[in-house]
Each structure stands twice: as structure tokens, then as C-alpha cells.
């Protein structure tokens, strides 16, 4: 049985209905997540970002990042189950840099997919996005572990395709770690390009909740604070697309 929607859930839902997005500070996000499960294996979960594989598709156009990918299915109010490994696809309508190709990434490790932290995050998303779309019977979920690396001679690009939509219904961007970087500001835009808001994910569990059908988003480049040291930005991106909805893209390069 799922937790009853809290007043904070309703507040988030009202914000998304009104503005198309909501920033949630890490400590607040922790409280909401823990209503849906445990985070006791957070340290191991976060450490798995040290075992991501190079994004060879992006490297082919002269950009660099690391990632892993997985697909899940959630029924409304029911279990969330991992699906067979499959490619990530976005049309050129949503990704002008790498659209219209099937991209196969290394899968999320089994221990990460089975972790209590991920189950908690996905449970929160299922129930919160379900509150926004009560008519949806189920969800196609994709998740991406991203590490954006910044170097002394090359800034890191969290959204190399620029300000964009992902072609899904809802998006969660959850900060895992920032190490020795500056910038990485998330910007939210209307369809005509007007800036609706901006914020920077700086602490673990800082989060952005986005209504992808209504707004566009992007993230500014990151650079090393100390050019002599390793620098990175680690995020978990989770996208929800209603099962049966017409969508020619799924998921995020945010």
C-alpha cells in the first residue's frame, strides 16, 4: 500500500501544475524520500558513480561523460520491475545532437538496480507523478547515472544538446555528488525561450522535478575549481512516460 499523499507532495504538485518545475533542497528531499522507503545503502549507491562507462556516442562528437542506463516498468500503486536491457532513443525533435539513433549504454549494475535507495527514489516518483496524472495506469521508466567530468582544458557539458525537452511526461534530476566544480546551473524555459527560473544543485539529494511536456531545461557548463584536481558532477536522471502514450522519445541527457 502506498503512502497517502502528504501536504508537501501536494505543494510540489501545485508548483508543477503552476510553474512546470520545482526545486527541492536535499534535506527536504531526504524527508520525502524516507516516507517511501530507506536510504541506508546511500553510501554504496553513490559510490557506484565511480564505476560508470564512457559515453562512446558523445565522445564521437568530441564531448565526454560517463553513464549507465536501465529501464523499469511501474503499474499504478503496484510493483516496480526492471525490464530487459534496451537502447535509449530520442528523435531529432528532442535531441538535435544525437537524435534518431538507438544508443546502447552499459547497464546499471544489478546491485544498484536492486538497492533500497533506488527502490525508494522510484517509489517516490511513481506516487508523486501519479498524483499529477491520476488517469495513467502505468509508467515506462528510464534512469540514467551520469558523471560529467570537467578538465583544466575542457569544460564539462551536462546538456550538450542545449536547452531541450526529453519527450517524456515527467523528469526527476537528483544530485548525487559535486566534486571540485563551479557552475552547473539548471535553467528552466518556456517554449518561446523565456527564462522561467534557475537554480544550482549543490548538495546531495538536491532535486529538480520537471513537467517535461510544459517546459524546457538545460544546465550550464561546469569547470574545475582547482584545475590540478579531478572534477565531476554526478546526477541520477529518472524519466517517466505514461504507458500507451504516443511518444517518440524517452529520457534525459540532463
Q: What is the mean pLDDT of each run of 10 residues along the chain (254 residues)?
A: 62 89 96 95 98 73 75 88 82 48 86 98 94 92 93 76 86 97 94 95 97 93 93 96 57 40
Give the separation between CA 47 and CA 252, rounded to whole angstroms.
22
Q: What is the pLDDT of residue 254?
A: 43
Closest by CA position to 236, among listed 219, 254, 224: 254
Q: What is the pLDDT of residue 4?
A: 55
Q: Which helix (H) or strand (E) holds 143?
A: strand 138-150
Q: What is the pLDDT of residue 161?
A: 73
For residue 12, the tally of other CB atoms under 10 A from its CB is 21
C-alpha cell at 191: 517554449
Q: What is the pLDDT of residue 236?
A: 97
Q: What is the pLDDT of residue 245?
A: 47
207 CB-near residues (< 8 Å, 6+ apart):
23, 24, 26, 29, 172, 173, 174, 175, 201
Strand partners, 207: 24, 174
Q: What is the pLDDT of residue 152?
A: 81
Q: What is the pLDDT of residue 108?
A: 96
- DSSP per residue, 170-191: EEEEEEEEEESEEE-EEEEE-T
Q: What is the pLDDT of residue 249?
A: 37
Amino acid at each position: 500500500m502506498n503512502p497517502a499523499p502528504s501536504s508537501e507532495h501536494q505543494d510540489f504538485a501545485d508548483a508543477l501544475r503552476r510553474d512546470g518545475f520545482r526545486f527541492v533542497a536535499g534535506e527536504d528531499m531526504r524527508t520525502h524520500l524516507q516516507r517511501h522507503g530507506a536510504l541506508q545503502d546511500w553510501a554504496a549507491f553513490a559510490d557506484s558513480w565511480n564505476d560508470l562507462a564512457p559515453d562512446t556516442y558523445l565522445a564521437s562528437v568530441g564531448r565526454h561523460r560517463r553513464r549507465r542506463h536501465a529501464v523499469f516498468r511501474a503499474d499504478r500503486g503496484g510493483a516496480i520491475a526492471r525490464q530487459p536491457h534496451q537502447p535509449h532513443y530520442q528523435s531529432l525533435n528532442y535531441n538535435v545532437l544525437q537524435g534518431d539513433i538507438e544508443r546502447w549504454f552499459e547497464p546499471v549494475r544489478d546491485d544498484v538496480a536492486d538497492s533500497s535507495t533506488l527502490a525508494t527514489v522510484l517509489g517516490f516518483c511513481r506516487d508523486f507523478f501519479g498524483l499529477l496524472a491520476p488517469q495513467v495506469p502505468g509508467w515506462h521508466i528510464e534512469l540514467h547515472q551520469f558523471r560529467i567530468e570537467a578538465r583544466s582544458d575542457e569544460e564539462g557539458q551536462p546538456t550538450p544538446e542545449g536547452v531541450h525537452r526529453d519527450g517524456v511526461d515527467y523528469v526527476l534530476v537528483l544530485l548525487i555528488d559535486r566534486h571540485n566544480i563551479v557552475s552547473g546551473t539548471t535553467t528552466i524555459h518556456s517554449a518561446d525561450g523565456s527564462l522561467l527560473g534557475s537554480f544550482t544543485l549543490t548538495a546531495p539529494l538536491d532535486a529538480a522535478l520537471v513537467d517535461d511536456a510544459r517546459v524546457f531545461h538545460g544546465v550550464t557548463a561546469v569547470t574545475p575549481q582547482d584545475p590540478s584536481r579531478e572534477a565531476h558532477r554526478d546526477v541520477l536522471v529518472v524519466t517517466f512516460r505514461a504507458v500507451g502514450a504516443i511518444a517518440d522519445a524517452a529520457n534525459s541527457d540532463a
